[in-house]
Amino acid sequence: MIVVTGGAGFIGSALIWKLNQRGEEDIIIVDDFGEGPDRESSKWKNIVSLKYADIFDKEDFGHMISSGFLKNFKIDTIFHLGACSSTTEKNFSYLFKNNFEYTKYLCEQSIENDIRFIYASSAATYGDGSRGYSDDENMLNSLRPLNGYGFSKHMFDLWAKRSRVLDRIAGLKYFNVYGPNEYHKEGMRSVVNKCYHQIKETGKAKLFRSSNHDYKDGEQKRDFIYVKDAVDMTLYFMDNKIVSGIYNIGTGSANTFNDFVKPIFKALNAKEEIEYFDMPDILREKYQYFTEADMSKLRSTGYTKDLTPISGAVSDYVKNYLETDNPYFK
C-alpha cells in the first residue's frame, strides 16, 4: 500500500497517474479539499480518472495514524507532497502547522513503523540563490529563504538533519514544476499555463518586466522541470530505498522565461508576441531572478534517465492537454 498526501494536488495526482501506469492501484489519497463556499476547490477533477483504494481528509488521516492505522495496514511508502505551496501566504502560523508540524508528525510515525518516507521540500529554501543551489546537507544552515513558505520547508529540512533521520528518509527540493493537473492552483499556476490562456484570448503572452539591471525583460532564468520528469525522479526514491537524504528535483539547466513561452506560440501556430508588465510590489523584493538545480548529487546515485527538452515538454503540455476537451491526466 502506498500513501500519497496531497494526492489530489498537482504533483501528487501526477504521481498517482504514473503509479497507475505501472500497475499500482493500492494507493491511499490524503488531501484537504477545503470547507465552505470561500474554500471551494477544483482539485477533485485531478483524480476523476485515477485508480486508488481509498481517500481521506488530511486531518482525519492524522487522527487515524494516532489510533494505530499504520500498524494495522501494510504501508510500504508515504509520499508526503501535501502542503500550502503559496509563496505569498502571510499566515505563518498556518504554514508552521501545515508544512512543518504535520510533516514532522508523519515522518516520526513513518520511521516508527518502518515505512519509507519521501517528502516534498522546495527550491524556495535557497532564497535569492546567492549561496548556490547545492543540495549538500552540510549547506543547510547557510540558506536564507525569502518567504514564509520557503522557511517552513527549510525548518523541516533542518529538523531532519538535527534529528539525524536523513539517512532513513528522502527530501526532494522541487524547482519550477509545470504540466497537467496544475489548473486548480490559480495564481500559482506555471507561466506556460497562464500564457497559454493569454495567447488564446489576446494573442499575446504577458511576462514580468525585469527590475534587475543584470537581466533584460523576460531574460530572468529558472530551472523549469516538466511534471512527468519530476514524477519519474520522485518514484526513483521509492524504487531505491537505499538512496536517502535531501536531493534537488530539477533539470540542472536554467532557461529564460522568453524561451519558456516561445514553444507555446509554435505549438499553437501563432505569431510570437510578448508583452512585459511590472511585477507586484509583494514579489519585487523577494523575486528569484535565477535558479538552477545542482543535479550532480542525484546523478551520482545512479539516476541516468534523460529529461524532456523544454520545447518538447511545453509542446506536449499544450497539444496533448491544454488544447483538449479533458486536459487532465487520464
Residue 107 domain-assigned? yes
Print the domain residue range for 154.
2-179+223-252+289-307
The average pLDDT across 8-17 equals 97
Cell numbers that stand for 274 in this block: 510578448
Distance CA 46, CA 71 (A): 29
Largest CA distance in the chain: 59
pLDDT tens profile 239-259: 999 999 999 999 999 999 999
Residue 122: inside a domain: yes
Of the candidate ranges 67-76, 271-280, 306-315, 321-330, the one whose mean pLDDT is the lowest = 67-76
Question: Residue 104 catalytic?
Answer: no
Q: Is residue 275 part of a domain?
A: no
Q: Residue 120 maps to which CATH number?
A: 3.40.50.720
- Tell me if residue 54 falls in helix, strand or coil: strand
321 vs 38 pLDDT, higher one: 321
Residue range 105-114, pLDDT digits in tens = 999 999 999 9
Sheet of 245-249: strands edge to edge? Answer: 54-57, 27-31, 2-5, 77-80, 116-122, 169-174, 245-249
Asked if the structure places residue 184 within a domain, the reply is no
Catalytic residue among 18, 45, 58, 185: 185
Catalytic residue among 52, 126, 149, 178: 149
**Triad 281, 285, 289: Cα angle to 5°:** 110
**Is 280 within the bounds of a domain?**
no
Task: Quote the pLDDT of residue 165.
Answer: 97
CA–CA distance, 302 with 259 (Å, rounded to integer): 30
Backbone torsion region of residue 208, taken as left when φ is above 0, otherwise alpha when ψ lies between -120 and 50, otherwise beta: beta
Classify residue 283: in a domain, yes or no: no
Q: What is the pLDDT of residue 36?
A: 46
**Whole-prediction pTM value?**
0.94
Q: pLDDT tens for residues 85-139?
A: 888 788 999 999 999 999 999 999 999 999 999 999 999 999 999 999 999 999 9
185 is catalytic: yes
57 closest CA partner among 78, 89, 28, 36: 28
pLDDT digits 0-9 by tens, 41-51: 789 999 999 99
Report yes or no on 146 lying in a domain.
Answer: yes
Average pLDDT over residues 323-328: 96
> What residues form DSSP beta bridges with 169?
117
Structurally, the chain folds into a number of domains equal to 1
Is 31 within the bounds of a domain?
A: yes
